[in-house]
Amino acid sequence: MPEGGGHVSRPSAVLFACTQNAVRSPMAEALGRHYFGREIYFASAGLKRGESDPFAIAAMDEIGVDISRHKPHTFEDLEDSNFDLIVTLSPESHHKALEFTRAMAVDVVYWPTLDATATSGSRETIMESYRAVRDSLAKRILKLLSVEHGSD
């Protein structure tokens, strides 16, 4: 199993998980769909249901990806789902994913990802934090799923 998000054989279903399923994992899910939506099934979940985040929506809108209709889900909402790969974006979600999959043959990888909601300051400072999360996730998703999209 890969450590830290190295190359794995191409999955057919990917779950992204974070703490509240409001910023990081919905961004990752939407980016995955944006790049690979016809080839791979993507979903997202959190330990608990957060609220829609207007900064996350704005950051994704800047690149033409709409997450405004995202409804937060928990792991329990996905109990009957089958995933080949779970990518966790927070320490708490990583522990939950390991517990959730202990009886399943599923790869679980951890990508330490900034919690943009912890950023304070001006609107632009906060938006820069959300953009950094978005761009980092986009790069890692493209690398993980190893399809050339002309961006490095």
Domain residue extents for the chain: 17-144
Give the model's confidence band at 41: pLDDT under 50 very low, under 70 low, under 90 confident, else very high.
Answer: very high
In the prediction, which pLDDT does 79 show? Answer: 72
Cα-based angle 139, 150, 109 (whole degrees, multiple of 5)? 25
In the prediction, which pLDDT does 148 show? Answer: 45
Query: What kind of architecture, by CATH, is found in domain 17-144?
Result: 3-Layer(aba) Sandwich (3.40)
Give the model's confidence band at 81: pLDDT under 50 very low, under 70 low, under 90 confident, else very high.
Answer: confident
Q: Exposed, middle or buried, 76 (CB in 10 Å: 0-12/13-18/19+)?
A: exposed
Tell me which residue of 87, 69, 15, 79 sits closest to 45, measured CA to CA: 15
pTM attached to this predicted model: 0.88
AA identity, residue 76: E
Average pLDDT, the chain: 90
